[in-house]
Amino acid sequence: MNAHAWKALLALLICTASACSRSDTATPAATVGEATPRSGAVNADRLAAADDEPGSWMSHGRTYDEQRFSPLEQVDRDNVDRLGLAWTYKLDVDRETEATPIVVDGTMYVTGAFSIVSALDAATGKELWKFDPKVPRDKGRDGCCGVPNRGVAVWEGKVFVGAYDGRLIALDAGSGKPVWQTDTIVDHQRSYTITGAPRVVKGKVVIGNGGAEFGVRGYVSAYEADSGALAWRFFTVPGDPEQPPENKAMEIARPTWKGTRYASFGGGGTVWDSMAYDPVLDLLYIGTGNGSTWNRHLRSPGGGDNLFLSSIIALRPDTGEYVWHYQTTPGESWDFTATQHIVLADLSIDDVPRKVLMQAPKNGFFYVIDRATGELLSADKFAPATWASHVDPETGRPVETEIADWGKTAQLIAPGPLGAHNWQPMSFNPQTGYVYIPMQEAMALYVPDPQQTYSGKGTWHLGTQPLALPESSAELRAAAESLKGHLIAWDPVTRREVWRQSHVTLWNGGTLSTAGGLVFQGTADGRFVAYAADSGEKLWETPAHTGVMAGPISYEIDGEQFVSVAAGWGGAFPLALGGLSEPAKVRASARVLTYKLGGRAKLSPPRYEPAPLPEPPPLSDDADRIARGRDLYNTHCGACHGMSAVAGSVLPDLRYLTPARHESFDAILGGALAARGMPSFSATLSADDIDAVRQYVIKRAHDLQDDLARQGTQAEERRTP
């Protein structure tokens, strides 16, 4: 019997004797037995010495510094063409798949949509256990961009997952049974979510929340890993201006906000993704998100930097005490989050050794910062950015251009809210000295809406007019051609791009670099690719049969190196604008794909049957009603089903509604399909509003029917709603 078989048998015996007989309902720690002694045995010493066991991937970025560099070199540039599929594992829900798997002692822990956790034998992909936190399927309305989860943390026999509905849950690493759970949400009247991966630092589980677009106040919380008790909480923006500031940080932030309106919108600044930790300096670094609303004139009349929006903040992990901050985008007004991947490294800058922090946030500038002091060392454009000409090296502030301020007049600005780099993680290779960034080009037209007020939970609050794309075929083609995605290698010392590989469209995957001289990345058009780390030469690719967005990992079992990635299409761009990237022609098919040298497994492509376009109902002659329906659709429906005349590429295309679905349109928007993920809008839209939306959907169907007739075809590759 091999080592994996013994491990599986041991887990089965322990499970039979204790935890597996218990209910899946989360219970207090006191009622659950100790974690299995050989499962998830990660601690501070082991993480600090992660390079001593390069075959593991024990934390989100492999190490505390989040470099996403694997020291493994069995797979290298000379033999990568022999890489083949070792195994696949089908995830439960075919939605956005954004998790970084964790591999500890031969077990892989990975999450999918709705925060479902699976434990797998990392050598074979065999499922060991699964935990579904039972997130309500209509909860997606309370958050931006789907229902993703970016992974778990493992610590001293427990697996920690942040559920989309705001619960932080500790699971027994050996059995998957709940040990404890806690509610991280401070106000259930607001649309808080969790999509990010927890980090564990000094025995504390650190997690942030999402929801800035919906009107929340950002914060990050730390919980005791053994009990789930709250250790500390750090708010990132001021609260009620009628109340005194909670601490020193809020005393600093309060004067940078003007008026009182920001409190009604929450302010934003959510900590929904990036973190890193320096155990020598004992500093925890967090990245904060955009303002709520985006429109700073609406959010903070009279101006102000609005700390700590779009900032990198250094905290003491024991207490949450503020140490320093650097704000990438003062007065943030473009959805330019600084929640993108934070990487720590030791570099020689101007021949001086520096402990640095690096980030390539949405705003298009690459930052190198002294991580001990917060001093800006450099900031350079890594992508087209028309909102600022440069960053002043003396003040550290961006110099805005004449088109940057759209608060009173609409402006076309690059990058747009999708950013020059979104959540897909970058990696740093200490051998080449390069950072590998999934870069994007996607500008946007910002149109002010100065009358917007906070209108309750589940509603977008951007301070802009609803996005309305042009609907002619020529204009749509032009819009599609403006969306570009690239993989770039950036040298943070010489401050320049070294090489790039351009993709079919934007929204490509995170990156992994290895000591084998390789960079791995998935693509929006359904491929998994390896490049030479020094030159960018493409060395290997294989079909993934779905868009790949997550960051890959590499690990070793019994002397054999594996490369693995969680694949599945979805997220902000595929949901709202995926129809603009028709060259990709991918759908959501959520799987873990794992490769090794000589792998011989086969990947079956997903099956999508072409669906004929049903004959749409008669077209209304009420142009005003259709126009109102378009605005309502773009405000409440487009983020999931596609904006304006553009369908998404994940959820059903409403132009293909059947006659039966049209007849039950009112009931569907009233919650009839809530169990399948379609939330109720009965508290938001009146019956007249719902009819206006339906009339606009009918118009879109007639427009498509006319387009198909001109093309001489009556079918497209779409799933029938």
Give me the pLDDT at residue 714, please: 55
* Lowest-confidence segment of 47-61, 134-148, 238-252, 313-327 by average pLDDT: 134-148
Euclidean distance between CA atoms 601 and 561, whole angstroms: 16
Whether pLDDT at 38 is above 60: no
- With cut-offs at 50, 70 and 90, classify the pLDDT of residue 684: confident
Give me the pLDDT at residue 577, please: 83
**Residues 436, 441, 442, 446: what is their CA dihedral angle, to the nearest 10 degrees?**
100
Whether pLDDT at 253 is above 70: yes
- With cut-offs at 50, 70 and 90, classify the pLDDT of residue 15: very low
Whether pLDDT at 403 is above 90: yes
Whether pLDDT at 3 is above 80: no
Q: Which pTM does this prediction carry?
A: 0.92
Give the model confidence (pLDDT) of 472-516 as tens digits: 667 777 777 889 999 999 999 999 999 999 999 999 999 999 999
Whether pLDDT at 372 is above 80: yes
What average pLDDT score do residues 64-87 get?
98
Strands 322-327, 291-292: pairing is unpaired
Per mean pLDDT, which of 5-9, 95-99, 640-644, 679-683 is the most reliable? 95-99
Place of tokens 């190196």: 561
Please, are residues 461 and 455 in contact by the beta-carbon 8 Å criterion?
Answer: yes
- Residue 600 backbone class (left: φ over 0; alpha: ψ -120 to 50; beta: rest): alpha
**Could you state, in order of their start, the residue ranges of all structural domains in the chain?**
68-134+504-607, 611-716
- With cut-offs at 50, 70 and 90, classify the pLDDT of residue 158: very high
Whether pLDDT at 11 is above 50: no
Whether pLDDT at 271 is above 90: yes
What average pLDDT score do residues 672-686 get?
88
DSSP codes of every residue in 286-324: EE---EESS-HHHHSTT----TTTTEEEEE-TTT--EEE
Please, are residues 304 and 247 in contact by the beta-carbon 8 Å criterion?
Answer: no
* Lowest-confidence segment of 31-35, 265-269, 546-550, 696-700 by average pLDDT: 31-35
Give the model confidence (pLDDT) of 649-669 as tens digits: 888 889 999 999 999 999 999
Give me the pLDDT at residue 24, please: 32
* Lowest-confidence segment of 342-346, 485-489, 600-604 by average pLDDT: 600-604
State the DSSP H helix or E strand holding residue 497, giving kind and residue range, or none if neither.
strand 496-502
Whether pLDDT at 606 is above 80: no
Give me the pLDDT at residue 161, please: 98
Whether pLDDT at 267 is above 80: yes
Euclidean distance between CA atoms 325 and 284, whole angstroms: 12
Place of tokens 């805005």: 400
* Lowest-confidence segment of 6-10, 95-99, 372-376, 714-718 by average pLDDT: 6-10
Give me the pLDDT at residue 36, please: 40
DSSP codes of every residue in 642-669: -STT---SSS--GGG--HHHHHTHHHII
Whether pLDDT at 356 is above 50: yes
What average pLDDT score do residues 263-270 get?
96
Quick check: bond before 308 cis, omega within 30?
Answer: yes
Q: Which residues contact 26 (CB under 8 A, 6 or more apart)?
A: 167, 169, 178, 180, 181
Which 3-state string (H, E, C) describes 328-381? CCCCCCCCCCCCCCEEEEEEEECCEEEEEEEECCCCCEEEEEECCCCCEEEEEE
Query: What's the token pair of residue 616?
Result: 């749409």
Place of tokens 């609303």: 293
- What is the pLDDT of the chain when averaged over all its residues? 90
Superfamily name with CATH number, domain 611-716: Cytochrome c-like domain (1.10.760.10)
Whether pLDDT at 470 is above 70: no
Whether pLDDT at 318 is above 70: yes
Whether pLDDT at 376 is above 50: yes
- With cut-offs at 50, 70 and 90, classify the pLDDT of residue 713: low
CB atoms under 10 Å from CB of 609, counted, come to 9
Give the model confidence (pLDDT) of 132-153 as tens digits: 999 998 888 888 889 999 999 9
Whether pLDDT at 23 is above 50: no
Is 498 exposed, middle or buried (CB count within 10 Å of its CB: 0-12, 13-18, 19+)?
Answer: middle
What average pLDDT score do residues 239-260 get?
95
Whether pLDDT at 716 is above 80: no
DSSP codes of every residue in 201-213: ETTEEEEE-B-GG
Give me the pLDDT at residue 612, please: 85
Give me the pLDDT at residue 20, please: 35
Give me the pLDDT at residue 582, please: 64
Closest CA to 718 of 613, 614, 610, 643: 610
Give me the pLDDT at residue 18, please: 32
Give me the pLDDT at residue 31, please: 31
| β-bridge mates for residue 554, sequence order | 563
- With cut-offs at 50, 70 and 90, classify the pLDDT of residue 717: low
318 flagged as catalytic: no
* Lowest-confidence segment of 198-207, 450-459, 619-628, 702-711 by average pLDDT: 702-711
What average pLDDT score do residues 284-299 get?
96
Catalytic option among 105, 273, 335, 525: 335
